[in-house]
Amino acid sequence: MPERVFLKLGGSLITDKSRPYTPRPEVIRRLAEEVRAARAARPDLELVIGHGSGSFGHTAAAPYGTRQGVRTPREWLGYAEVAAAAARLNRLVTDIFLEAGVPVLSLQPSASARCRDGELLHLETAPIRDALAHGLVPLLYGDVALDDVRGGTIASTEDLFVYLTPLLAPQRILLATRVAGVLDDRGEVVPVISPADLPALRAVLRGARGVDVTGGMADKVERMAALVERYPGLVAHIFSGETPGTLTSVLLNPAATAGTRIRR
């Protein structure tokens, strides 16, 4: 049976978040090859890929507080700079994936995204659906968005996935990061999390390394737990994309044990 999967390539994985505007092209290239291998092994695998902005968008946004709102001329200049930085990284990811033989179609979220007080209320889905219907791989990314209350804000890849889940009904949401998974207070990977586990985990969830204006690991876990609670059968999986072969393995095997699985 065909399977639809949302895959996020974390900003900390595809860039060096400790150094402004520094991509990791060799890692992006390897991830692209792993996606190509998975699609070759499973032609019925339908992928929607998103990526974080890493040391590009987050670095540009931090001085302006873009996530919190855009109102002054200086902040609108920052809004434009964040959009440009996010697009530069997306162009690099797009080119590398195409060179690897993955037919990605880059779709700019800010062209249609509308938010209200930080919540994504609208994103045009017809291009995503059409791309999937023609065997392409839609490629989204964290981007700026107009906001009815804040003027402007940032729509993270997680925001996009949360919005798209009820509309496109993925069976799995995969978050490839630079860490091994969700870590407990001893630094060990928590293999499985259910929404009921969150109260005990909140005190030990670790934030992102480097500049991150969209919430870090704690936010990712909270949002994925809310999704799996709302949509029975959906599983989220947070794992490291640093080890060669792991991404292909997780794409091909829903029961893969690497990292942390979040499920009801």
pLDDT class for 202, splitting at 50, 70, 90? Answer: confident
Query: What are the tens digits of pLDDT across the range 12-21?
Result: 999 999 999 9
Helices (H) and strands (E) in the chain, counts: 9, 12
Query: 223: closest CA among 91, 119, 106, 88?
Result: 119
How many Cβ atoms are within 10 Å of 202's Cβ, its own excluded? Answer: 11
Percentage above 70 pLDDT, the chain: 96
Looking at the domain that runs over 3-262, which CATH code has it been given?
3.40.1160.10
Rounded Cα–Cα distance for residues 39 and 54 (Å): 26
- Whether the pLDDT of residue 213 is over 70: the answer is no
pLDDT at 121 over 50: yes
Residue 174 confidence (pLDDT) above 70: yes
What's the token pair of residue 165? 């889940």
For residue 231, give both structure tokens: 């949509």
Question: Model confidence over 47-85: pLDDT tens digits?
Answer: 999 999 999 999 999 999 999 999 999 999 999 999 999
In one letter, which amino acid is 199? P
Residue 211 above 50 pLDDT? no
Residue 176 · residue 240 · CB < 8 Å: yes
Q: 22-44: per-residue pLDDT in tens?
A: 999 999 999 999 999 999 999 99
Query: Who's near 225: CB < 8 A, 6+ residues apart?
Result: 193, 194, 195, 198, 236, 262
Domain ranges in the chain? Answer: 3-262
DSSP state letter for 101: T
Res. 209: pLDDT tops 70: no
Average pLDDT of the chain to the nearest whole number: 94
